[in-house]
Amino acid sequence: MEKLVDGLTVNAAGESVIVDNEAYLEAVRRNLPESLQRAYEQAVDTYQQQYDGVLEPKAFQSIYRLIPILGETEEYAPRVNGHPILPVSMLYMSASHAQFSMEEVDAVIDGMVTERLLSLTRSLTTTYIPFDTGIAIAIHPALLR
């Protein structure tokens, strides 16, 4: 394995492997503004292509900020190996209270998944939300406080 920067190495298969978690998280946090900008640009493209609308910066920022808030509460986001897994339906519900649509949430998730700030997975719990899809997002530790 060859040592790279920011706590990563490359294994024989050519995949990045985290060898120093603290250095890796620090690098991700340092680059977070640029990653969020690219995530926003992807979300805008997704929203425009799928819904023929304009995703406002305020919508992206508000929905993005809900994710770590909900992710900090284990009742909403159970843990797997210490990482929060947030049901998308919980994010839909919280965003709808703030007057944002499910389509806007989907576009934000798409942008953040593209930037590897979130990853899609299955829900660990059943919510009592009627439109629970069973889909959840694993939240990158750099997004949490």
User: Within this chain, do residues 66 and 103 fall inside the same structural domain, yes or no?
Assistant: yes
How do the pLDDT tens digits run along the chain, 145 residues long?
Answer: 455 567 667 777 777 777 777 887 888 888 889 999 999 999 999 999 999 999 999 999 999 999 999 999 888 888 888 889 999 989 999 999 999 999 999 999 999 999 989 999 987 766 566 667 788 999 988 888 6
User: Within this chain, do residues 36 and 10 fall inside the same structural domain, yes or no?
Assistant: no
User: Within this chain, do residues 70 and 136 fall inside the same structural domain, yes or no?
Assistant: yes
Tell me the residue range of the domain where 22 lies.
1-30
User: Within this chain, do residues 26 and 36 fall inside the same structural domain, yes or no?
Assistant: no
The structural domain count of the chain equals 2
User: Within this chain, do residues 8 and 70 fall inside the same structural domain, yes or no?
Assistant: no
The three-state DSSP-derived secondary structure of 35-82 is HHHHHHHHHHHHHHHHHCCCCCHHHHHHHHHHHHHHHCCCCCCCEECC
Q: State the number of CA atoms in the 13 A half-sphere of 9 facing the CB.
A: 7
User: Within this chain, do residues 1 and 45 fall inside the same structural domain, yes or no?
Assistant: no
Give all strands of the β-sheet with 83-87 in edge-to-edge order: 79-80, 83-87, 135-139, 118-122
User: Within this chain, do residues 43 and 70 fall inside the same structural domain, yes or no?
Assistant: yes
